[in-house]
Amino acid sequence: MRKQSLAPMLVLILLSGLFSGIRAQTNTDQIVFTEGWVTGFGAPVKYPRYARSEFPTDPVIPLLLVDQSFQPADQKGDSGVNWEAISADEKGIFKHDLLASGGLYLEYTSPAEKIVIFDASGHGKAYINGVPREGDHFGFGTSKHPVRLKKGLNTFYLTSGRNPEIRASLYAPKSPLQLSTDQLTLPDLVWEEKGFKWAGIKVINGTEKAASSYRIESLVKGTGKMSTSLPTIEKLTSRSVPFRIPELQGVQEEQVEVQVNLLSAGGNKLSSLTLTLKNRPFDSLHDRTFISGIDGSLQYYSVQPGKVPEGLRPALFFSTHGAGVEARGQAAVYTPKDWGHIIAPTNRGPFGFAWEDWGRLDALEVLDIGKDLFQPDPQKIYLTGHSMGGHASWYLGATYPDYWAAIGPCAGYAELHDWIEHTRKIVTATERMFERAGNTQRTRLLSRNYLHFGVYINHGDADQVVPVRHARQMKQVLADFHPDFAYYEYPGGGHWYGNNSADWPPLFDFLKNHTLPTSKEVRSLEFYTASPGISASSNWLTIYQQTHPYQLSHVDLDLGADSLSLSGVTENVAVMQLDLSMAGVAFPLSIQMDESKLVLDQAVSEIVLVRNDSGAWELGVLPGPEEKGPRRYGNFKDAFRHQVVFVYGTQGSPEENDWNFYKARYDAETFGYRGNGSIEMVSDSQFSLEKYTDRGVILYGNSDTNRAWKTLLGKSSVQVSNGEMKVGDRVLSGDGWGCYFIQPRPDSDIASVGVVAGTGLKGLKAMHANQYFMAGTAFPDLTVIGTGVFENEYEAVEGAGFFGNDWRVETGDFVWK
> Is the CB of residue 407 less than 8 Å from the CB of residue 385?
no
Residue 26's pLDDT band (boundaries 50, 70, 90)? Answer: very low
> Are 11 and 54 part of one and the same domain?
yes
What gap in Å lies between CA 213 and CA 209, rounded to an integer? 12
What gap in Å lies between CA 280 and CA 575, rounded to an integer? 51
CB-count burial class (<10 Å; 0-12, 13-18, 19+) for 222: exposed
pTM of the model: 0.94
Residues 531-590: pLDDT tens digits?
Answer: 999 999 999 999 999 999 999 999 999 999 999 999 999 999 999 999 999 999 999 999
What gap in Å lies between CA 768 and CA 761, rounded to an integer? 11
Instruction: Assess whether the previous peptide bond of 27 is cis (omega < 30° from 0).
Output: no
C-alpha dist (Å) from residue 252 to 186, 219, 329: 18, 17, 24
What gap in Å lies between CA 694 and CA 704, rounded to an integer? 25
Q: What is the pLDDT of residue 76?
A: 55
Q: What is the pLDDT of residue 45?
A: 45
> Are 307 and 419 part of one and the same domain?
yes
> Are 661 and 732 part of one and the same domain?
yes
| Phi then psi dihedrals of residue 375, to 5 deg | 50, 60
Give the end of a domain, one of 137, 172, 207: 172
> Is the CB of residue 161 less than 8 Å from the CB of residue 124?
yes
Number of domain units in the chain: 4
- The 589-593 sheet, strands edge to edge: 524-529, 553-559, 565-571, 589-593, 596-600
DSSP secondary-structure letter at 416?
Answer: H
As a whole number, the mean pLDDT across the chain is 92
What gap in Å lies between CA 234 and CA 177, rounded to an integer? 11
Q: What is the pLDDT of residue 2?
A: 35
Q: Mean pLDDT over residues 740-768, rounded?
A: 97
Q: What is the pLDDT of residue 744?
A: 98
> Are 648 and 555 part of one and the same domain?
no
CATH no. for residue 503?
Answer: 3.40.50.1820
Residues 673-723: pLDDT tens digits?
Answer: 999 999 999 999 999 999 999 999 999 999 999 999 999 999 999 999 999
Q: What is the pLDDT of residue 736?
A: 96
Q: What is the CA radius of gyration of the chain?
A: 27
Q: Is 156 helix (H, G, I), strand (E, B) or coil?
A: strand
> Are 481 and 569 part of one and the same domain?
no
Q: Mean pLDDT over residues 73-93, rounded?
A: 82
Beta-strand relationship, 752-758 and 738-744: antiparallel
What gap in Å lies between CA 393 and CA 408, rounded to an integer? 7
Residues 446-487: pLDDT tens digits?
Answer: 999 999 999 999 999 999 999 999 999 999 999 999 999 999
- The 454-460 sheet, strands edge to edge: 286-291, 298-304, 340-344, 315-320, 381-386, 406-410, 454-460, 485-490
Q: What is the pLDDT of residue 530?
A: 98
C-alpha dist (Å) from residue 767 to 119, 678, 722, 736: 26, 22, 15, 10
Q: What is the pLDDT of residue 740?
A: 98
- 313 in a domain, yes or no? yes
Residues 361-380: pLDDT tens digits?
Answer: 999 999 999 999 999 999 99
> Are 615 and 699 part of one and the same domain?
no
> Are 319 and 461 part of one and the same domain?
yes
> Is the CB of residue 98 less than 8 Å from the CB of residue 84?
yes
Handedness of CA 441, 444, 450, 455 (dihedral sign): positive
What gap in Å lies between CA 787 and CA 458, rounded to an integer? 47
DSSP secondary-structure letter at 233?
Answer: B
* Contacts (Cβ under 8 Å, ≥6 apart) of 28: 15, 16, 17, 171, 174
> Are 598 and 650 part of one and the same domain?
no
CB-count burial class (<10 Å; 0-12, 13-18, 19+) for 524: exposed
What gap in Å lies between CA 385 and CA 395, rounded to an integer? 11
Q: Is 153 helix (H, G, I), strand (E, B) or coil?
A: strand
- 260 in a domain, yes or no? no
- 252 in a domain, yes or no? no
Q: In which region does residue 776 sit, left (phi positive, over 0), alpha (psi from -120 to 50) or beta (all else)?
A: left
What gap in Å lies between CA 435 and CA 777, rounded to an integer? 9
> Are 532 and 667 part of one and the same domain?
no
**At what angle are helices 388-399 and 358-374 packed, to 10 degrees?**
80
- 254 in a domain, yes or no? no
Residues 127-145: pLDDT tens digits?
Answer: 999 999 999 999 999 999 9
> Are 528 and 486 part of one and the same domain?
no
Q: What is the pLDDT of residue 422?
A: 55
Strands (E), 728-772: 730-733, 738-744, 752-758
DSSP string for 751-763: -EEEEEEESSHHH
Length of the chain: 817
What gap in Å lies between CA 726 and CA 743, rounded to an integer? 15
- 386 in a domain, yes or no? yes
Work out the percent of the chain whose per-residue pLDDT is above 70.
Answer: 94
* Contacts (Cβ under 8 Å, ≥6 apart) of 131: 662
Residue 207's pLDDT band (boundaries 50, 70, 90)? Answer: very high
Give the range of the structural domain holding residue 165, as residue numbers without chain letter.
7-172
Q: Mean pLDDT over residues 632-640, rounded?
A: 97
Instruction: Assess whether the previous peptide bond of 588 is cis (omega < 30° from 0).
Output: yes
* Contacts (Cβ under 8 Å, ≥6 apart) of 712: 697, 699, 743, 745, 746, 753
Residues 216-270: pLDDT tens digits?
Answer: 999 998 778 999 999 999 999 999 999 999 988 767 789 999 999 999 999 999 9
What's the N-to-C CA distance of the chain in angstroms? 43
Q: By C-alpha distance, which of 410, 413, 465, 472 is closest to 441?
A: 413
CA atoms within 13 A on the CB side of 264: 8
- 476 in a domain, yes or no? yes
Q: By C-alpha distance, which of 621, 636, 633 is closest to 667?
A: 636
Q: By C-alpha distance, which of 473, 325, 319, 501 is closest to 396?
A: 319
DSSP secondary-structure letter at 324?
Answer: T
99 pLDDT higher than 80: yes
> Is the CB of residue 540 less than 8 Å from the CB of residue 578?
yes
- 141 in a domain, yes or no? yes
CATH no. for residue 809?
Answer: 3.30.379.10
Give the end of a domain, one of 172, 206, 232: 172
- 274 in a domain, yes or no? no
> Are 678 and 790 part of one and the same domain?
yes
Q: What is the pLDDT of residue 421?
A: 63
What gap in Å lies between CA 180 and CA 781, rounded to an integer? 37
Q: What is the pLDDT of residue 41?
A: 78
> Are 86 and 165 part of one and the same domain?
yes
Other beta carbons less than 10 A from residue 38's beta carbon: 24
Helix (H) or strand (E) run with residue 127 in it: strand 123-128
C-alpha dist (Å) from residue 527 to 473, 573, 623, 770: 22, 12, 21, 33
Q: What is the pLDDT of residue 493?
A: 95
> Is the CB of residue 736 less than 8 Å from the CB of residue 763?
yes
798 pLDDT higher than 60: yes
What gap in Å lies between CA 631 and CA 722, rounded to an integer? 33
What gap in Å lies between CA 506 and CA 138, rounded to an integer? 35
Give the end of a domain, one of 591, 619, 647: 619
